[in-house]
Amino acid sequence: MEKKERMVTFKTLVSYGLGDIYGGGAFMIVGMLFLFYLTEVVGLSPALAGLVFGIGKVWDAVSDPLMGYLSDKTKSRFGRRRVYFLAGIVPITLSFILLWLPMNFETQAALFLYYSFAYIVFATVFTMVMIPYSALAAELSGDYKTRNKLSGARLFFSGFSSLLAATIPKLIIDSAAGHPSTGYVYMSVAFGIFFALPWLVTYFGTWEDPQVKQQSVSANFLKEFFTIFRNRSFRIHILMYVFAYSAMDLLMALFTYYLTYYLKRPNLYSVAMGTLMVVQLVMIMVYVRIANSKGKRLAYRMGLLIWLTGMLCTLALSPTSPVWMVALVCAVIGLGTSAAVFIPYAILPNVIDVDELMTGSQRSGVYSGAMTLTRKLVQGALVMPLIGLFLQMVGFVSNAEQTPQVLSRFFLFFIGGPALLILAGIIAASWFELSPKNSEIVAAELIRLRSGGRLEDAADEVKAICEKVSGRKHEQCNW
């Protein structure tokens, strides 16, 4: 007998979306300010500062898939996903503060070791909470449009938090005139509390599906982890996600340096980032409508093309450009980045459906872990270390006037790096086959199979579409 699905109301959307205040805001602050903090305030060399991220991501290579596996296996009266929301409230605040404590060690090695440790603690807490959170959406609803609304709600609050994180921290830091290290501590306390409290609402305002069929216990969670890459839709999805978010990481990490040293207008930080984030936030609802009506592939490619246009528009900016012109270019970039941050998360529940079709099990925790791990590995083991290494190689000197040669090379990297990644994302999206129609067919086939239907009884069209999105013959699916 087919079970009746609980209704996802506006209250549910808000409760679920509030969880990503932490995901969006914390990543924004760390991505935009932590490298700058390490080089300009702490005094780490750019190469070592970039390597701090890399050390943390080596740990993530273990903790992320493990957390996805544990989330799928957890048995608790508080839920297998939501129990981690409660457990993470205090650690969220403390781990964020730990990142921004000023340490007066005399050697570069001591500073590197402390901030590597602090970043590992932060990354562990982030993993413990955000992987079960990302996995929850697949259990709240099986409907294509409702899942898009859940993703839209999540990204709305993530964008709202990112907007605050892009504008307010610098105001708090600057309020401690002459003592930037103290300003960073004030900022970390305020935002550490802000990131932690919404999890209470998310816990009480959402639910888990007790009838979801879980995967059988595996003795090797890493083996279980790697099996998800047999899913063709997931492989393409990961490429779209990595290219878009790597471009975003480059943009955000370099933006403070761009305003401070290239445009020589650090005072425009709040205006520039505020404009970008407001536009990005507003456009999420537009991309939700495009995804529902025309498909996520079109919405994604459209957004990335707009973003690429915005990056090219920075060629027109100079230290003498009026404020409105800087804001306009940031607005164009925000029009595009909105799709880049929304679409990959909106795709995830549909990709999980394809896996359930292939395996007969609901492994959203493993998929969420893989997605988070991939992002962190690319950001921490590649993007951030390469930024630090690049700055050191071109002769960047902290808290000093940069030579014209250094600035020209920096600007080429600032535009060229994101542009190449954006183009790669557009190409990857051309292979994505989970259109609204195909996603609905997969969802309907899952309902039929869960109700006791046989694989061999599927219509030929259904078999063909399922094989196209999964990369596996329909009769080879594990039901």
Tell me the DSSP string of 365-413: HHHHHHHHHHHHHIIIIIIHHHHHHHHHHTT--TTSPPPHHHHHHHHHH
- The pLDDT confidence band at residue 4, using thresholds 50, 70 and 90, is low
CB atoms within 10 A of CB 430: 9
Residue 359: both structure tokens together: 């395996």
Q: Supply the pLDDT for residue 451.
A: 85
- The residue count for the chain: 479
Asked if the model's pLDDT at residue 2 lies above 60, the reply is no
Q: Supply the pLDDT for residue 346.
A: 87
CA 75 from centroid of its chain's CA atoms = 27
Residue 190: both structure tokens together: 């305020």
Closest CA to 131 of 407, 475, 374: 374
Angle between helices 436-450 and 323-359 (to 10 degrees): 30
Asked if the model's pLDDT at residue 221 lies above 90, the reply is no
Residues 6+ apart with CB under 8 A from 71: 80, 81, 84, 131, 132, 135, 365, 368, 369
CA 260 from centroid of its chain's CA atoms = 26
- Residue 477 phi, psi (nearest 5): -65, 150
Q: Is the pTM of this model over 0.85?
A: no
DSSP at 474? G
> pLDDT higher for 217 or 89?
89
- The pLDDT confidence band at residue 210, using thresholds 50, 70 and 90, is low
Residues 6+ apart with CB under 8 A from 436: 144, 292, 293, 295
Mean pLDDT, the chain, rounded, equals: 87
Query: Hey, what domains does the chain have and what are their CATH numbers?
Result: 10-204+219-434 (1.20.1250.20)
Reported as type and span, the H/E element at residue 328 is: helix 323-359
Q: Supply the pLDDT for residue 17.
A: 93
- The pLDDT confidence band at residue 8, using thresholds 50, 70 and 90, is confident
Q: Supply the pLDDT for residue 262.
A: 94
Closest CA to 132 of 176, 75, 72, 175: 72
Cα–Cα distance measured from residue 390 to residue 378, given in angstroms and rounded to the nearest whole number: 16
Asked if the model's pLDDT at residue 450 lies above 50, the reply is yes
Asked if the model's pLDDT at residue 111 lies above 50, the reply is yes
Cα–Cα distance measured from residue 54 to residue 385, given in angstroms and rounded to the nearest whole number: 6
Work out the average pLDDT over 358-383.
79
Cα–Cα distance measured from residue 47 to residue 423, given in angstroms and rounded to the nearest whole number: 27
Residue 346: both structure tokens together: 């909106």
